[in-house]
C-alpha cells in the first residue's frame, strides 16, 4: 500500500498534487511519501512482534537520503551500512552507533577505524582475512570489535543474477562449510568479540523458500558453533524481501516472512537482526518526469521521450527492471509506446511496446516504485547532473536533496597547467 493516488483526476503524493511539485521544483524529481515510509516501517515491525529479541537495521544503500534516514530513526530502526560514507550518514541522521551494522566485502582500514570510533554495534565480517585485519586494528587501539561472521549458504535466491548474493560463486561471506573453523580462529583473536553469524542471500526475492533454506543452514551452524564451545548471541538474517513493481505480481508479505522467521529461528535464543531495504522504501517513492516529445518510429509504435534517463533511474538499464509508468493526469485514453530517455545509449530505455496512458509533449508522468535503488544509483552520465529529491508530508513538501547542476560537477574538474 502507498500514498500515491489519483484525487480529482490528478495523481497526488499524499495530499500534494504532483503537478505542483513539478512546477516548483522542476523535473525529473524523486518524490517520497513520509506516510508510506512510516507505514512500511510499522508493518515490518509488526510482522516481527512475536520475536522476543530483535534489531532492525535499515539497509541504507536502498535509499541513503538523510530525511529518509531520519524517518527510519524515528521509527526505531538502526542502519546497515556498507561504506564509511553510509556510516557517516547514519550518524548524521541521529542513529546511535550501537544500532549500526557494518557489512561489505571491502572495508578499508580507515573505515574500520571510523566504525570503532563510532562505537558501532556490529561488524559483519565477510572473510577470514578481513577478520584478522579488523582484529589488529581494534587491538592496536585497545578495543574489541563486536562481530558477526557472514556466511555464504550456497542457496539460489531465484532472483536477478546481479542481485543474488548467496550462491557459492558470489563474492559475499565465507563458505558455510568452512564457517565453524573460521569463527573459532577469529574468536581466538584479542581484538574481536565474535558474537554471531549473518546471512543475506539476495534482493527482490519473490519466494520465501530460499530464505527458509538459508536460515535452516544458519541454525545448524549456530548449533555446531555452540557444540564446539563458541558463544553465539546474535543472528543477522539480512534483507531481501521483494516488492511489486508490476501491477498484479505477488510477493510474500512481511507478515508471512515474520511467521516463517518465527517458525525457523524462534528457538535459537539469540537476538535476531534484520536488514530490510527495498521492502521499506521501494513503493514509498516515484520518479516524476515530463514527456519532452513524442517521436514517430519506423514501425508505428511511437517513442515517448521523457526528461528522466538511465542516469537518474538505472534499474531498467542495469537489470532490465520493470517500473509501472502512469500519467499524472490520465485522460482515459491509452497508447502503446516505447518509453526512452534523452541519453545517447540504446540502453536508455525504460520500456518497449508498453501500453500506457496516452501522453503528448509536456505531460507529466511517474515511474512508480522508485524509492529503492533509485536516486542512490544515479550518475551524471551525459553531464546531466543529479536529480532533486522531495519528501511529502500530508499537504506539505520539502526538497530533501537539491538538484546538482552540471556546472557544480564541472567545477570539481581541473585542466592541468601542462595542457595550457
Ligand X SMILES: *Cc1c(COP(=O)(O)O)cnc(C)c1O
Which segments are annotated as binding site? Answer: 240, 275-278, 315, 319, 345, 373
SS3 assignment for the chain: CCCEEEECCEEEECCEEHHHHHHHHCCCEEEEEHHHHHHHHHHHHHHCCCCCCEEEEEEHHHCCCHHHHHHHHHCCCEEEECCHHHHHHHHHCCCCHHHEEECCCCCCHHHHHHHHHHCCCEEEECCHHHHHHHHHHHHHCCCCEEEEEEEECCCCCCCCHHHECCCCCCCCCEEHHHHHHHHHHHHCCCCEEEEEEECCCECCECCCHHHHHHHHHHHHHHHHHHHCCCCCCEEECCCCECCCCCCCCCCCCHHHHHHHHHHHHCCCCCEEEECCCHHHHHHHEEEEEEEEEEECCCCCCCEEEECCCCCCCCHHHHHCCCCCEEECCCCCCEEEEEEECCCCCCCCEEEEEEEEECCCCCCEEEECCCCCCCHHHCCCHHHCCECEEEEEECCEEEEEECCECHHHHHCCCCCCHHHC
Q: Is 307 in the site for ligand X (CB under 6 A)?
A: no
Stretch that binds ligand X, among 173-181, 273-281, 333-341, 400-408 (CB under 6 A): 273-281
Q: Is 111 in the site for ligand X (CB under 6 A)?
A: no
**Cell 521483494 belongs to residue:** 242
Q: Is 61 in the site for ligand X (CB under 6 A)?
A: yes
Which parts are annotated binding residues for pyridoxal 5'-phosphate? 240, 275-278, 373
Stretch that binds ligand X, among 83-91, 274-282, 313-321, 333-341 (CB under 6 A): 274-282
* 17 vs 282 by CB, closer to ligand X: 282
* 143 vs 170 by CB, closer to ligand X: 170
* 102 vs 183 by CB, closer to ligand X: 102
* 103 vs 289 by CB, closer to ligand X: 103
Active site residue 344: yes
How far apart (Å, rounded) are the C-alpha atoms in residues 52 and 167?
A: 30
Shortest CB 162 distance to ligand X, Å? 12
How far apart (Å, rounded) are the C-alpha atoms in residues 389 and 66?
A: 11
Q: Is 277 in the site for ligand X (CB under 6 A)?
A: yes
* 196 vs 238 by CB, closer to ligand X: 238
* 364 vs 370 by CB, closer to ligand X: 370
Shortest CB 276 distance to ligand X, Å? 5
Question: Which of 173, 276, 316, 374 contacts ligand X by CB under 6 A?
Answer: 276
> Beta-carbon neighbour count of residue 333 at 10 Å?
9
Shortest CB 278 distance to ligand X, Å? 4
Q: Is 371 in the site for ligand X (CB under 6 A)?
A: no
How far apart (Å, rounded) are the C-alpha atoms in residues 200 and 239?
A: 6
* 59 vs 314 by CB, closer to ligand X: 59
Q: Is 238 in the site for ligand X (CB under 6 A)?
A: yes
Sequence-distant (≥ 6) Cβ neighbours of residue 268 within 8 angstroms: 219, 222, 235
Shortest CB 256 distance to ligand X, Å? 15
Q: Is 312 in the site for ligand X (CB under 6 A)?
A: no
Q: Is 62 in the site for ligand X (CB under 6 A)?
A: yes
Question: Which of 86, 275, 326, 357 contacts ligand X by CB under 6 A?
Answer: 275
Stretch that binds ligand X, among 54-62, 254-262, 292-300, 304-312 (CB under 6 A): 54-62
Minimal CA–CA distance to 201: which of 232, 234, 242?
242
Could you say which of 344, 415, 417, 419 is catalytic? 344
Q: Residues in contact with ligand X, total (CB under 6 A)?
A: 16
* Per-residue CA distances from 116 to 99, 119, 132, 140 (Å): 13, 5, 15, 12
Shortest CB 98 distance to ligand X, Å? 18
Q: Is 213 in the site for ligand X (CB under 6 A)?
A: no
Stretch that binds ligand X, among 209-217, 271-279, 304-312, 404-412 (CB under 6 A): 271-279
* 170 vs 380 by CB, closer to ligand X: 170
Q: Is 12 in the site for ligand X (CB under 6 A)?
A: no
Question: Which of 2, 38, 80, 312 contacts ligand X by CB under 6 A?
Answer: 80
Question: Which of 12, 234, 278, 384 contacts ligand X by CB under 6 A?
Answer: 278
Q: Is 157 in the site for ligand X (CB under 6 A)?
A: no
User: Is 10 in contact with 328 (CB distance < 8 Å)?
Assistant: yes
Q: Is 59 in the site for ligand X (CB under 6 A)?
A: yes
- Catalytic residues, by residue number, are 344
**Residues within the interface to ligand X (CB under 6 A):** 59, 61-62, 80, 103, 200, 203, 238-241, 275-279
Amino acid at each position: 500500500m502507498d500514498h500515491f493516488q489519483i484525487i480529482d483526476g490528478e495523481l497526488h503524493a499524499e495530499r500534494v498534487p504532483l503537478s505542483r511539485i513539478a512546477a516548483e521544483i522542476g523535473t525529473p524529481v524523486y518524490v517520497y511519501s513520509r506516510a508510506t515510509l512510516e507505514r512500511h516501517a510499522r508493518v515490518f515491525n509488526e510482522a516481527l512482534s512475536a520475536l522476543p529479541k530483535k534489531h532492525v537495521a535499515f539497509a541504507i544503500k536502498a535509499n541513503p537520503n538523510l530525511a529518509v534516514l531520519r524517518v527510519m530513526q524515528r521509527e526505531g530502526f538502526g542502519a546497515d551500512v556498507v561504506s564509511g560514507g553510509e556510516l557517516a550518514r547514519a550518524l548524521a541522521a541521529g542513529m546511535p552507533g550501537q544500532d549500526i551494522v557494518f557489512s561489505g566485502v571491502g572495508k578499508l582500514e580507515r573505515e574500520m577505524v571510523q566504525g570503532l570510533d563510532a562505537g558501532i554495534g556490529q561488524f559483519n565480517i565477510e572473510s577470514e582475512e578481513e577478520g584478522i585485519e579488523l582484529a589488529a586494528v581494534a587491538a592496536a587501539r585497545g578495543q574489541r570489535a563486536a562481530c558477526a561472521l557472514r556466511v555464504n549458504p550456497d542457496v539460489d535466491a531465484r532472483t536477478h543474477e546481479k542481485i543474488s548474493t548467496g550462491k557459492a560463486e558470489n563474492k559475499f561471506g565465507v563458505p558455510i562449510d568452512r564457517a565453524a573453523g573460521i569463527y573459532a580462529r577469529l574468536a581466538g583473536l584479542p581484538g574481536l568479540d565474535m558474537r554471531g553469524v549473518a546471512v543475506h542471500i539476495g534482493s527482490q526475492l519473490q519466494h520465501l523458500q530460499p530464505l527458509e533454506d538459508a536460515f535452516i543452514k544458519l541454525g545448524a551452524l549456530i548449533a555446531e558453533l555452540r557444540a564446539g564451545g563458541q558463544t553465539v548471541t546474535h543472528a543477522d538474517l539480512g534483507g531481501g524481501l521483494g516488492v511489486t513493481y508490476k501491477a498484479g505480481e505477488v510477493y510474500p508479505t512481511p507478515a508471512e516472512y515474520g511467521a516463517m522467521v518465527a517458525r525457523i529461528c524462534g528457538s535459537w535464543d539469540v537476538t535476531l537482526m534484520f536488514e530490510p531495504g527495498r521492502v521499506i522504501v521501494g513503493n514509498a517513492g516515484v520518479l516524476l518526469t515530463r514527456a519532452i516529445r513524442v517521436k514517430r518510429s519506423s514501425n508505428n509504435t511511437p517513442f515517448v521521450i521523457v526528461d528522466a534517463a538511465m542516469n537518474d533511474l538505472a534499474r531498467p538499464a542495469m537489470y532490465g527492471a520493470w517500473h509501472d509508468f502512469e500519467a499524472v493526469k490520465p485522460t482515459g485514453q491509452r497508447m502503446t509506446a516505447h518509453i526512452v530517455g534523452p541519453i545517447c545509449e540504446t540502453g536508455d530505455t525504460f520500456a518497449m511496446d508498453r501500453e500506457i496512458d496516452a501522453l503528448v509533449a509536456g505531460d507529466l508522468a511517474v515511474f512508480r516504485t522508485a524509492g529503492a535503488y533509485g536516486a542512490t544509483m544515479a550518475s551524471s552520465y551525459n553531464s546531466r547532473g543529479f536529480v532533486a529529491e522531495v519528501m511529502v508530508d500530508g499537504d506539505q513538501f520539502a526538497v530533501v536533496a537539491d538538484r546538482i547542476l552540471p556546472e557544480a560537477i564541472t567545477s570539481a574538474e581541473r585542466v592541468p597547467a601542462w595542457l595550457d
